[in-house]
């Protein structure tokens, strides 16, 4: 059974879309008994009491809690973790979404559940998208790619906003990380499981099942929080304090896997130094081919940092910034967000999905 953890605020939220999410679950689920929806509302939201009776109309279980808002956007992960407390005993896998997500694929529930049976110890993660960077070779065919630099995580486009996790993994970790960007937390814990313990416990779906409906005034560079709350999150992610906590979580996950005594990992052979140089070179070349100068500078700088004698990196950095052995003098800005889809532009979630 799947538990969907949802945080929802109605008042002063221009992209509130919980009814759209719930309706998409009605429309695109194979079996309404395969999942439940667990919603956390804010005590300070005056519109919640009038809306709660509407939750009873759905053919699947919808449970809710109403608790303090905390710091709002920065504390979304706390709301997800609190919603976990409502989970049915039969629940084995969980996803966490804001209320502006919608399901876009028929039978999404059976698709997700099919990926939950590969590890006897029930410790795994499920991604809807391959790991970044999207411009690396074989992006779709080789989705597992833990070779990016965590320091660049806020600059990597195409991050899976809607991963799923086994309930056991979340319980080992004490909930949804320590930051509201649960997608970035997922990448970080996968990164440390691979780097520190040689483990790959990530499954990948063939295509996204859930899509976030963006609102320009809230979710893109035009939004005030792009450089306020959002930047606070990324500054915290970059801190030694946060990284140490995630490393400890990864260590606890690895110890539980070891204690269970089953298969330790999916194929997870670490490349040699020569192979790693080839991988990073191909990724940097892929960035160059996209024509995005910021991505190219970042990737060739990383290649030059790790392999100072790589002549390809030196040449391209000389062409791009004139400083082949130094980091760029100006920190590249975060790539522009993907083109958003306004909720009011489409009559159904299926019509919106066709424009992805």
Q: Rounded distance, CA 245 to CA 189, Å?
A: 10
Could you give the C-alpha distances from 294 to 238, 242, 288, 305, 312, in angstroms and in order? 20, 26, 9, 16, 17
pLDDT at 217: 61
Sequence-distant (6+) residues with CB within 8 A of 298 are 152, 155, 287, 328, 332
Cis status, amide bond into 302, omega within 30 of 0: no
Query: What average pLDDT score do residues 177-192 get?
Result: 91
Domain borders along the chain are 2-266+338-353
Mean pLDDT (whole number) for 79-89: 94
Residue whose structure tokens are 């009873």: 56
DSSP state of 326: S
Output the pLDDT for position 281.
98
Q: Using CA atoms, how far apart are residues 99 and 5, in angstroms rounded to an integer?
A: 10
**What pLDDT was estimated at residue 339?**
36
Q: What number is the average pLDDT over the span 230-241? A: 88
Distance CA 25, CA 55 (A): 13
pLDDT of residue 354: 35
- Segment 172-181 mean pLDDT: 88
Range in 125-129, 180-184, 321-325, 339-343 the model is least confident about: 339-343
> For 270, what's the count of Cα atoms within 13 Å in the CB-facing half-sphere?
11
Look at residue 2 and give its three-state secondary structure: strand
Contact 255, 173 (CB under 8 A): no
Q: How far is CA 306 from CA 79, 150, 196, 299, in A?
A: 39, 14, 18, 11
Q: What is the DSSP string of 90-139?
A: T--EEEEEETTEEE-STTHHHHHHTTSSS-TT---EEESSPPSPTTSTTT
Q: Could you tell me which of 111, 110, 203, 212 has the C-alpha nearest to residue 165? A: 203
Position 13 confidence tier, pLDDT thresholds 50, 70, 90:
confident
Query: Which segment of 34-38, 56-60, 219-223, 341-345 scores lowest on mean pLDDT?
Result: 341-345
Percent of the chain beyond pLDDT 90? Answer: 69
**pLDDT score for 262:** 65
- Cβ–Cβ under 8 Å, residues 209 and 103: yes
Per residue in 139-151, pLDDT (tens digit) is: 999 999 999 999 9
Topology (CATH) of 2-266+338-353: Spore Coat Polysaccharide Biosynthesis Protein SpsA; Chain A (3.90.550)
Task: Answer yes or no: are the C-beta atoms of 219 and 340 closer than 8 Å.
Answer: yes
Q: Which residue has the higher pLDDT, 26 or 345?
A: 26
Backbone phi and psi for residue 350, each to the nearest 5 degrees, phi listed first: -65, -45
Radius of gyration for the alpha carbons in the chain, expressed in angstroms and rounded: 21
How far, in Å, CA of 66 to CA of 82, rounded?
A: 10
Decide: 353 and 30 in contact? Cβ < 8 Å: no
CA 20, chain centre distance (Å)? 21
Mean pLDDT of 223-243: 81
Which of 158-167, 215-224, 225-234, 330-339 has the least mean pLDDT? 330-339
**pTM (predicted TM-score):** 0.85
Residue-wise pLDDT for 244-280, tens only, equals: 999 999 999 999 999 988 666 666 788 999 999 999 9
pLDDT-based confidence at 159, cuts 50/70/90?
confident
Least confident of 51-60, 66-75, 298-307: 66-75
């Amino acid at each position: 059974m799947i538990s969907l953890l949802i945080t929802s605020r109605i008042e002063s939220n221009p992209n509130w879309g919980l009814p759209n999410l719930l309706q998409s679950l009605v429309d695109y689920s194979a079996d309404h008994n395969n999942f439940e929806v667990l919603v956390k509302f804010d005590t300070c939201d005056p519109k919640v009491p009038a809306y709660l009776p509407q939750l009873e109309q759905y053919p699947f279980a919808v449970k809710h809690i109403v608790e303090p808002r905390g710091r709002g956007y920065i504390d979304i992960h706390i709301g997800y973790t609190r919603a976990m407390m409502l989970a049915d005993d039969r629940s084995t896998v969980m996803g966490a979404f804001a209320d502006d997500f919608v399901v876009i694929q028929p039978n999404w529930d059976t698709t997700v559940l099919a990926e939950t049976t590969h590890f006897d110890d029930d410790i795994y993660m499920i991604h809807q998208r391959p790991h970044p960077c999207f411009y690396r070779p074989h992006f779709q065919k080789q989705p597992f790619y833990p070779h990016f630099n965590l320091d660049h995580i806020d600059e990597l486009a195409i991050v899976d906003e809607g991963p799923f996790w086994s309930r056991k993994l979340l319980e080992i970790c004490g909930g949804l990380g320590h930051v509201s960007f649960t997608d970035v937390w997922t990448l970080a814990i996968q990164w440390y499981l691979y780097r520190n313990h040689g483990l790959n416990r990530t499954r990948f779906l063939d295509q996204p099942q859930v899509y976030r409906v963006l609102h320009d005034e809230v979710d893109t560079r035009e939004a005030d929080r792009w450089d306020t709350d959002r930047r606070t999150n990324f500054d915290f992610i970059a801190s030694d304090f946060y990284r140490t906590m995630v490393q400890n979580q990864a260590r606890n996950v690895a110890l539980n896997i070891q204690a269970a005594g089953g298969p330790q990992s999916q194929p997870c052979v670490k490349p040699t130094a020569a192979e790693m140089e080839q991988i990073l070179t191909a990724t940097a070349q892929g960035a160059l081919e996209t024509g995005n100068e910021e991505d190219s500078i970042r990737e060739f700088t990383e290649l030059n940092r790790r392999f100072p004698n790589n002549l390809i990196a030196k040449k391209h950095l000389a062409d791009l910034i004139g400083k082949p052995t130094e980091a760029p003098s100006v920190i590249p800005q975060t790539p522009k967000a993907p083109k958003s889809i306004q909720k009011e532009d489409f009559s159904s979630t299926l019509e919106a999905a066709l424009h992805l």
